[in-house]
Amino acid sequence: MNFKMNIKQRLQQLKSVLPKHVTLVAVSKTKPVDDLMEAYHAGQRIFGENKIQEMAEKYQQMPKDIQWHMIGHVQTNKVKYMAPFVDLIHGVDRLKLLNEINKQAQKHSRCIDCLLQIKIAEEDSKFGMTTNDAENLLKSSAFKDLKNIKIVGVMGMASFTNDTDQIRTEFNTLKSTFDLLKNTEQQMHIVSMGMSGDYPLAIDCGSTMIRVGSHIFGARNYS
Ligand SMILES: *Cc1c(COP(=O)(O)O)cnc(C)c1O
């Protein structure tokens, strides 16, 4: 990243190279509201957070035309805190979680869009379903009963490696999973893949939504 540029300039530079069909989620986890507002004033309206409580606090403080995406692993008992406002949940990886999202969405008379997280990385640490599990879930009657959620696509995270061939293979796997699942769920249109380090490759492999944090906001400090 270019340290001489500010958030607005980095955002504008990134947007100027994105194809029209690719949506940018500005990943703002750990960053202060002032930084998010700088991106907001530069026109950014979609923000991604990975902790529900942090997202809910920022939602309270910020303009209401922002679309909030939950990109992290979701604990079932915390769904209620984001159900009133969340725009898209990226990390859905089990029926039990979908049941809870459906229940909480119903309470607010909403339909919440979700992505199925598919495990594409070789590493064990990454969450996600297999293609097979995802297909079975979409075909199950338990799933068809859920009227307050909509599966609009898939999400995946590639391995943390410099091996671009491996990353390409993993992104290609997610795209083929998307193509396959779309036969069952025709309204699917989102392939969420690509982060600061690999978004050009992800776009090459068919990504329609990238989740970029440090490239816009700078490195995160977790201390
Ligand atoms: C943090 C995070 C990102 C963004 O990572 P950067 O490397 O900072 O762009 C994208 N996706 C998920 C799921 C994340 O947790």
pLDDT (tens digit per residue) in 40-96: 999 999 999 999 999 999 999 999 999 999 999 999 999 999 999 999 999 999 999
**Whose Cα sits closest to atom 6 in ligand 1?**
213
DSSP state of 3: T
Which residue, 213, 221, 203, 216, is CA-closest to 21? Answer: 203
Alpha carbon of 139 to ligand 1 centroid (Å)? 30
Whether 69 is in the pocket of ligand 1, judged by its Cβ within 6 Å, is no
Which of the listed residues 211, 217, 222 should we mutate to test ligand 1's pocket, taking the one with most ligand atoms within 8 A of CB?
211
Under 8 Å between Cβ of 153 and 193: no
**What is the band of 222 on the pLDDT scale with cuts at 50, 70, 90?**
confident
Whether 30 is in the pocket of ligand 1, judged by its Cβ within 6 Å, is no
Number of Cβ atoms within 10 Å of the Cβ of 74:
25
Whether 214 is in the pocket of ligand 1, judged by its Cβ within 6 Å, is yes
Q: How far apart are CA 213 and CA 223, in angstroms?
A: 17
> Does the global pTM surpass 0.85?
yes
Q: Where are the domains of the chain?
A: 7-217
Under 8 Å between Cβ of 25 and 46: yes
Residue 1 has pLDDT above 70, yes or no: no
Alpha carbon of 109 to ligand 1 centroid (Å)? 30
Alpha carbon of 87 to ligand 1 centroid (Å)? 18
Per residue in 67-81, pLDDT (tens digit) is 999 999 999 999 999
CATH T-level topology, domain 7-217: TIM Barrel (3.20.20)
R_g of the chain, CA atoms, integer Å: 17
pLDDT of residue 123: 77
Whether 76 is in the pocket of ligand 1, judged by its Cβ within 6 Å, is no
Number of Cβ atoms within 10 Å of the Cβ of 172:
14
Alpha carbon of 40 to ligand 1 centroid (Å)? 19
DSSP state of 142: H
